C-alpha cells in the first residue's frame, strides 16, 4: 500500500513538472524571454495591442521580445525589466510604453502579481510573490507548479507555442457613449504618485547604466480621454519629454497629434484595434530602423 501511494505521489509530481515545463516554455516564447532578442517591448496591454511583433521582426530582421502583460503596474514593470536583463543578455533597445495614467495607483489590477507565478524559482520573483500573497498560497504554488497557471497564462503559453501574437480586439470604440461617459465624469483620473515616478526613474536608470537605448513611447490614446483633464494630461507628457533629456540613451516618442482623432483606430479609449496596430507599428518602425 505504501509503495503504491509512493508511486502515485511520484507520478503526480512528474506529471505536474512536465505540464509546468511545457507551459513555461510557451510563455517564454510568447514573451520572448530566454532569447537573443536585441529589441524588447515592455508595458501593459496598451503597448501589447499596439505592436505587431512579427511585422517588426520581418522589417528589421532582428529578434524581438514582446514582454507586455495586462494590468501590470510600475512595480510589476520594474520586475519585468529585471527578468529581461537577467534572461536576455543581447538586448540593446528597450521600448517602454508610457501614458498619462501610468503613475496613478488606482485603475490597474491589484492581483497582477499572480502573473509572475510561472516564474517562481527566481529569487527576485519569489520575493515579489511572497510579499503579495499568503503563506499557504505561496507554498501551494511553489510545490504544485501547474497550479501557477490561470486561463490567461495558459492562453498566452499556447499562443507562444503557435507563434501567434495577433491583436484580437476587433471592432471600433463607441464614441457617442464614450463622450457621454466623459461628460459625466466616468473615466479614469490622472493622479500621479511621486512614489511611482521614483520607481519608474530607477527602472530606466538601470537600463541606461547598462548602455541600453530606451525609447519611451506614448502609444495613442483617444481624444476624449486626452481632453478630459487637459492640464494634468499635458503635465505628464511634458514630464516624459523632460526626463528623456537626462540621458542621451533615452528618447521620448509621442504619438498624439494626428492620432488621437483617428477614432476608427481604437477598440476602446486606450487600446488600438488591428487597423490602428498596423498603422502605429509602421510609424514606430521608422524610428527603430
pLDDT at 7: 84
Where in the sequence is the domain holding 99, given as residue range(s)?
Answer: 2-163+172-288
Structure confidence by residue, pLDDT tens digits, 31-61: 999 998 999 999 999 999 999 999 999 999 9
pLDDT at 2: 77
Q: Is the pTM of this model over 0.85?
A: yes
Cα torsion angle, 78, 84, 86, 89, sign: negative
pLDDT at 109: 63
Structure confidence by residue, pLDDT tens digits, 131-145: 999 999 999 999 999
Q: How many domains does the chain have?
A: 1
Residues of the chain short of pLDDT 70, as ranges, are 1, 106-109
pLDDT at 107: 59
> Could you tell me which residues come within 8 angstroms of residue 202 by beta carbon, excluding any fewer than 6 positions away?
78
Are the CB atoms for 266 and 222 separated by under 8 Å?
yes
The CATH number that applies at residue 94 is 3.40.50.1110
Amino acid at each position: 500500500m505504501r509503495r503504491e501511494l509512493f508511486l502515485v505521489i511520484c507520478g503526480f509530481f512528474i506529471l505536474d513538472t512536465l505540464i509546468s515545463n511545457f507551459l513555461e516554455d510557451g510563455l517564454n516564447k510568447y514573451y520572448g524571454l530566454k532569447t537573443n532578442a536585441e529589441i524588447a517591448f515592455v508595458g501593459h496591454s496598451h503597448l501589447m495591442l499596439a505592436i505587431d511583433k512579427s511585422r517588426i521582426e520581418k522589417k528589421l530582421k532582428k529578434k524581438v521580445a514582446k514582454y507586455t502583460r495586462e494590468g501590470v503596474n510600475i512595480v510589476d514593470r520594474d520586475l519585468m525589466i529585471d527578468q529581461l536583463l537577467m534572461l536576455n543578455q543581447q538586448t540593446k533597445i528597450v521600448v517602454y510604453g508610457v501614458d498619462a495614467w501610468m503613475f496613478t495607483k488606482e485603475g490597474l489590477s491589484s492581483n497582477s502579481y499572480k502573473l509572475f507565478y510561472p516564474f517562481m524559482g527566481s529569487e527576485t520573483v519569489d520575493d515579489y510573490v511572497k510579499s503579495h500573497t499568503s503563506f499557504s498560497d505561496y507554498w501551494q504554488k511553489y510545490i504544485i507548479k501547474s497550479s501557477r497557471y490561470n486561463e490567461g497564462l495558459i492562453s498566452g503559453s499556447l499562443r507562444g507555442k503557435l507563434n501567434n501574437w495577433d491583436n484580437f480586439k476587433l471592432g471600433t470604440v463607441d464614441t457617442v457613449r464614450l463622450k457621454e461617459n466623459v461628460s459625466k465624469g466616468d473615466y479614469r483620473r490622472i493622479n500621479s504618485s511621486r512614489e511611482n515616478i521614483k520607481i519608474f526613474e530607477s527602472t530606466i536608470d538601470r537600463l541606461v547604466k547598462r548602455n541600453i537605448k530606451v525609447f519611451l513611447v506614448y502609444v495613442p490614446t483617444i481624444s476624449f480621454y486626452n481632453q478630459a483633464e487637459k492640464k494634468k494630461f499635458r503635465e505628464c507628457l511634458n514630464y516624459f519629454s523632460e526626463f528623456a533629456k537626462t540621458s542621451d540613451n533615452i528618447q521620448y516618442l509621442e504619438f498624439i497629434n494626428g492620432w488621437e482623432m483617428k477614432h476608427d483606430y481604437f477598440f476602446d479609449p486606450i487600446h488600438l484595434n488591428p487597423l490602428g496596430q498596423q498603422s502605429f507599428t509602421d510609424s514606430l518602425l521608422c524610428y527603430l530602423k
